[in-house]
Amino acid sequence: GNVINGNVVSVSSKNCVIEAKDKLIAVVGLEDIVVVDTDDATLVCDKEHAGEIKKILAKLREEGKNEYL
């Protein structure tokens, strides 16, 4: 099933993890997807690739975008 926290509307989505803050996150027809919304960034990835999030963090460091870390 879905794991949903925050201001989320989900229709026909399966096995998703969706974390929202104040802004509404609406998803339709997604499967095995992770969506995490914060004040300054939104992450969307396939659950199968969630282990690669550290690569995103490394790329942010490399590009000097430390405000997102």
What are 18-53's pLDDT values in tens digits? Answer: 999 989 999 999 999 999 999 999 999 999 999 999
In angstroms, the CA 11 to CA 63 distance is: 36
Q: Give the model's pLDDT for residue 61.
A: 97
In angstroms, the CA 61 to CA 35 distance is: 21
> What values do phi and psi take at 27, rounded to 5?
-130, 145
Confidence of residue 13 (pLDDT cuts 50, 70, 90): very high
Read off the pLDDT of each residue in 6-18 and give the average, rounded to a whole number: 98
Q: Give the model's pLDDT for residue 5.
A: 98
Cβ(60)–Cβ(66) under 8 Å? yes
